[in-house]
Structure 1
Amino acid sequence: MLAAALLLAAAGCQGGDGDGSSRPESPFTGEPAGRAPVLAVKVDNAAAARPPTGLDRADIVYAEQVEGGLSRLMAVYSAHLPPTAGPVRSARESDLELLRQFGRPALAYSGVQGRLQPAVDRAPLYPVTPGTAPRAYERSQDRAAPHNLYVRPAEALRAAPRASDAADIGFRFGAAPAGGRARTEQTVRYPAARFTFTWSGDGARWLVSMDGGPARTADGRRLAAATVVVQYVTVRPSRYHDRWGSVSPFTETVGSGRALVLRDGRAYDARWSRPGGGSGTAYRTPDGDRLPFARGPVWVVFAAR
């Protein structure tokens, strides 16, 4: 009975290093992890919202362009839940397409533009907002609104008890492929924001900087990733805008294009492909082989083609 339970726990998770091990691993990081539901959190990334809380515990962090050329983050949690995460801000149309590859995850966010609400209602996700799960949220007295709303991830998942467990979204993990180019730093620029990733051999991590300064959490921890993916996508105007009339960009994450994968102090040219909303995203070498990531947290930065 115990053996059967262990096999069931490992189902859907990528196993070991090709050595036949059934040790369960996270499909998001390649690190040891049991089955657990997925919670995505929209994280404010304006200067007034920094430093963030709990972002260092995310399995995956997505960075996207929003109104005014600024950036916003989506933190995806499963293996590890911080006590609190945030500051939490509003969702965008792009998030609905991106999240479909996670099955039916929980999404913590502070609200949406009114015309977008019907699309959120139709999307395959469990909305967790201050209105639907007030016990999951708190306001900090140390910051001014709207940069002071935080979510308690464990409480948020209690409000979405049927959220999908972490499953394969296309990532593969393993030894570094042949080739690549030595790279110690990579910068991605938006019209009014930028991300820089600097390789640290001591920690075997890419250290994150935002807008020219080191990115740290509220408790002083430096944000870092084992793998960084710069995914070149189409960024176009959406049908929606904010209260000041600025049009919200739409980031197309279904389709294909080029990518740059950073791991182990090297940069690898890649192609990404996601044939449909319900599909994961595959990253391949120019020869067509799946490009393995380094085990650990993954940052995916969507950059305009």
Structure 2
Amino acid sequence: MMRKWLLGTVICGLMVSLAGCGHVQKEPGPQREPAVQQNREPLTGLPTKNRDPMILMVMINNHHHARPQTGLSRADWVYEILAEGEITRFAAFYHSEASGVVGPVRSVRKYYLDLAKGLHAVVAHAGGATNAMETIKQEGLPHLDGIHEDERYFWRVGFRKPPHNLYTDLGKLVQRARSKGYDAMPLQLPLTFSAQGATDRGKPAEQIHIVYHRLYNCGYAYDSGRQAYVRFTQGEKQEERESGQPLTMQNVLVIRAKHRIFDSAGHREVNIAGSGNGFLFQKGKAIPIRWENRSGVIVPTVRGKIVSLVPGKTWVNVIPENGKVTFE
């Protein structure tokens, strides 16, 4: 029987730092952590596949007319947050695999930009909400706009209707970013990875069910053969459009954050600048955590110390405070 667990239980973990990449050189703070791990991907902790320091964040459509998507399986990290109404949108971060077609691409919101700034990513998007576009302009954020000045690096497909038919190619985005002078610089990300993660403290969680809105839910099922969670949306397995392969990930982070609708169009403010309660799911286990925003990066913590991720891909579900998460 499915058991509901209230977010908020706290346990211990270990904090170390991991080398990463980005667009702004951060001033180093006090160094208490062990030496930085070398030759590892900054977002997955796996052996390095791509030495180019550039990170891309691509806004991916999750409307039912946009599924199944292309290229989500290549993302190192994926954030899922509500846009307007009951529809969520994905911010997919690419580094270890930086080639191939992705889409459909959609517009950006300001809270996604907050995530991009933390990882110093170049944002690929199709326009955006007014406050998001103003932020890009005022702060000079690195971005590639598929319906304005960078449109020739994006294209429309014929098998879907607008606005669910805009696609791009990661390799072309990197080339365009270079031509616009978006040169990445090294930085340290507040992430740590270990083979077992924090699973020694977890409760069984092979089935996860998440409710964002009364009209939208998603979930994950642990596949012991793949040593990964398999993604479901609205009760259906979510797959890559071309290959038909399921979307899988080693870490699922579910966090609560304050949401507020601020206009008649239903645009939201989502507060991901502070901290809150959540769960980290790894290897079929649930670890109650408290999430914190450390230098613009959302990390799972226990008693103020960052807990380890399992090497591999991570999906982050940012749900409203009245959202629900259950597991068994």
Give the TM-score normalised by the residue count of structure 1: 0.86
Aligned partners of 2:256 and 2:278 also within 8 Å: yes
Relative to structure 1, the CA distance from residue 298 to residue 115 in structure 2 (aligned partners, 3 Å threshold; closer, same or farther) is: closer
Give, in whole Å, the separation in 2 of the partners of 1:249 and 1:19. 40
Equivalences, count? 283
Relative to structure 1, the CA distance from residue 295 to residue 142 in structure 2 (aligned partners, 3 Å threshold; closer, same or farther) is: same
Please report how far the alpha carbon of residue 221 of structure 1 lies from its aligned counterpart in structure 2 after TM superposition.
1.4
Instruction: Specify the code of the residue in structure 2 equivalent to 1:157.
Output: V
Aligned partners of 2:240 and 2:247 also within 8 Å: yes
Instruction: Specify the code of the residue in structure 2 equivalent to 1:254.
Output: A
Aligned partners of 1:88 and 1:147 also within 8 Å: yes
Is residue 233 of structure 1 aligned with residue 248 of structure 2? Answer: no
Give, in whole Å, the separation in 1 of the partners of 2:272 and 2:224. 31
Q: Which residue of 2 aligns with 1:7?
A: none
Please report how far the alpha carbon of residue 280 of structure 1 lies from its aligned counterpart in structure 2 after TM superposition.
2.6
Specify every segment of 5 or more residues in structure 1 that has no aligned partner in the other structure, as ranges: 1-10
Is residue 299 of structure 1 aligned with residue 315 of structure 2? Answer: yes
Instruction: Specify the code of the residue in structure 1 equivalent to 2:19.
Output: G
Relative to structure 1, the CA distance from residue 292 to residue 22 in structure 2 (aligned partners, 3 Å threshold; closer, same or farther) is: closer
Specify every segment of 5 or more residues in structure 2 that has no aligned partner in the other structure, as ranges: 1-17, 22-32, 322-328
Give, in whole Å, the separation in 2 of the partners of 1:115 and 1:179. 42
Q: Which residue of 2 aligns with 1:184?
A: 206
Aligned partners of 1:90 and 1:109 also within 8 Å: yes
Give, in whole Å, the separation in 2 of the partners of 1:36 and 1:141. 34
Relative to structure 1, the CA distance from residue 88 to residue 39 in structure 2 (aligned partners, 3 Å threshold; closer, same or farther) is: same
Give, in whole Å, the separation in 1 of the partners of 2:291 and 2:58. 24
Please report how far the alpha carbon of residue 82 of structure 1 lies from its aligned counterpart in structure 2 after TM superposition.
3.7
Give, in whole Å, the separation in 1 of the partners of 2:228 and 2:86. 27
Q: After superposition, give the CA deviation of every residue in 1:131-168 in whole Å (9 maximum; x if it has no partner).
A: 22233111111111111100111111222122536754
Aligned partners of 2:260 and 2:270 also within 8 Å: yes
Q: After superposition, give the CA deviation of every residue in 1:244-271 in whole Å (9 maximum; x if it has no partner).
A: x422112111101111000011000011
SS in 1 for 2:46: coil
Instruction: Specify the code of the residue in structure 1 equivalent to 2:56.
Output: L
- Greater shift, 131-140 or 88-97, is seen at 131-140
Please report how far the alpha carbon of residue 171 of structure 1 lies from its aligned counterpart in structure 2 after TM superposition.
2.4
Give, in whole Å, the separation in 1 of the partners of 2:54 and 2:306. 26
Q: Which residue of 1 aligns with 2:190?
A: 170
Q: Which residue of 2 aligns with 1:50?
A: 67
Is residue 31 of structure 1 aligned with residue 46 of structure 2? Answer: yes
SS in 2 for 1:141: coil
Q: Which residue of 2 aligns with 1:195?
A: 218
Give, in whole Å, the separation in 2 of the partners of 1:139 and 1:190. 30
Instruction: Specify the code of the residue in structure 1 equivalent to 2:62.
Output: N
| C-alpha RMSD of matched pairs (Å) | 2.3
Relative to structure 1, the CA distance from residue 147 to residue 163 in structure 2 (aligned partners, 3 Å threshold; closer, same or farther) is: farther
Q: Which of 230, 247, 251 matches 1:223?
A: 247
Q: Which residue of 1 aligns with 2:57?
A: 40
**How many percent identity over aligned positions?**
22
Aligned partners of 2:77 and 2:315 also within 8 Å: yes
Q: How does 1:1-305 map to 2 (within 5 A)?
A: 12-13=19-20, 23-33=38-48, 34-103=51-120, 105-114=121-130, 116-123=132-139, 125-130=141-146, 131-161=148-178, 162-164=182-184, 167-174=187-194, 175-177=196-198, 178-191=200-213, 192-219=215-242, 220-238=244-262, 241=263, 245-274=264-293, 278-285=295-302, 287-305=303-321
- Greater shift, 194-203 or 153-162, is seen at 153-162
Give, in whole Å, the separation in 2 of the partners of 1:304 and 1:163. 35
Please report how far the alpha carbon of residue 19 of structure 1 lies from its aligned counterpart in structure 2 after TM superposition.
11
Please report how far the alpha carbon of residue 90 of structure 1 lies from its aligned counterpart in structure 2 after TM superposition.
0.5
